[in-house]
Amino acid sequence: MFPREIRKRIGAVGAVLVVAAGAAAVAVPSEAQASTLSMRGADVSTLQRAVELGAKYYTAAGAVADPLDILKSAGVNYVRLRVWNNPRSGYNNAAKVLAYAKTVKAKGFKLLVDFHYSDTWADPGKQAKPAAWSSHGISALTTDVYDYTYGVCNSLKAQGTTPDSVQIGNEINVGMLWNDGKVVNNDFTDLSLLLKAGYNATKACNSSTQVVIHTANSDSDAHARWFYDGIRARGVAWDVTALSYYCNWHGTMANMTSVVADMISRYGKPAILAETAAPFTLNNADGTGNSINTACSGYAATWNGQGAAFTAVQNAAKAGGAVGVFYWEPTWTAVPGNGWDPANIASSGDGWDNMAVFNWTNVFNGAVKWIS
């Protein structure tokens, strides 16, 4: 996810979105049935740093509380943590993730580890190799992915925090570890080698850990099919199909319902939204501009509007048959020193302060609920 440069892409609408009295009801495509959201997730990758800096979080009633407990009370049962290979700030390297995994698991959450295979943000617009792998070709990179994935997973397992799921790459719409693992001229060969290495490493570490493959392709069946057909044709195995959905970039909720249903029907695997979010304001809390500056259609950028939009996204995903929805960085408020740039974390700001589910004084938005 953030920060990214994304062109808005228009996908075909495969279901009907009905908006009435500020609430959304999504028609269920004939090939899908409404599901139960068993993976009610939150990516809190920046929370460890915020807490270490002394940030306090408050319930909707204004009482100081552990932010993970607040999220759990709102319905969260699954935590997602990204891991970068060697970020300059140290956050979120393997050592930091190992430490925070203990906190997460002690609270009773399941754990999804999101491998970016980079020293910084990996998303549809950039997938830079870690500096330590910069001169490696595809053969060496395949070994790198296996060894690194196995090493992190096995270290988590050894300390009693075995990941329940792992992502092999983050929003890898056209591949990862560019340029070697980039899909060029519809050739998925090298990317498939990397994905197989990640899958095999995960299963060697713990056979019951789910392997997730994640793109941001909730915008259209055509884009999603191009990617997942491409890796399937090369023999890539995975357990869960994951998409990102942001209304500002990926079209209507009705269309997302259709794409989710198509993914489940086409590949016979559970599907989740690994990322989503909605704004509670369009104002900005610090010197770094907001990543998102518009609200979802039909939902105001207000406290209640954020809650209603998130509920609508969850219902739309359920209508397509999804089994999980993860809110991206609900705790990333504008805490000084917890900036977006891993090369300058102390001085850079937060472009997500209007998208968190805590306001600028770190009070929780009680209108936000994770639903089953």
Write down the pLDDT at residue 280.
98
Write down the pLDDT at residue 29.
42
C-alpha span between 361 and 58 (Å, rounded):
8
The mean pLDDT of the chain is 92
Give residue-wise pLDDT tens across range 310-343: 999 999 999 999 999 999 999 999 999 999 999 9
- Token pair 């009435």: residue: 20
The pLDDT of residue 11 is above 80: no
Residue 224 tokens, joined: 């999603």
Interval 351-371 mean pLDDT: 97
Residue 9 tokens, joined: 């892409």
Interval 4-12 mean pLDDT: 32
Q: 5-9, 80-84, 211-215, 331-335 — which is least confidently predicted?
A: 5-9
The pLDDT of residue 33 is above 80: no
pTM of the model as a whole: 0.92
Q: Which residues are catalytic?
A: 171, 275
Percent of the chain topping pLDDT 70: 91
The pLDDT of residue 28 is above 60: no
Residue 273 tokens, joined: 């939204």
- Alpha carbon distance, N-terminus to C-terminus of the chain: 25
The pLDDT of residue 13 is above 80: no
Give residue-wise pLDDT tens across range 153-194: 999 999 999 999 999 999 999 999 999 999 999 999 999 999
Write down the pLDDT at residue 16.
26
Write down the pLDDT at residue 1.
54
Q: How far is CA 278 from CA 192, 306, 342, 347, in A?
A: 33, 6, 24, 25
Give residue-wise pLDDT tens across range 92-145: 999 999 999 999 999 999 999 999 999 999 999 999 999 999 999 999 999 999
Sequence-separated (6 or more) residues with CB below 8 Å from residue 352: 2, 277, 290, 291, 329, 332, 340
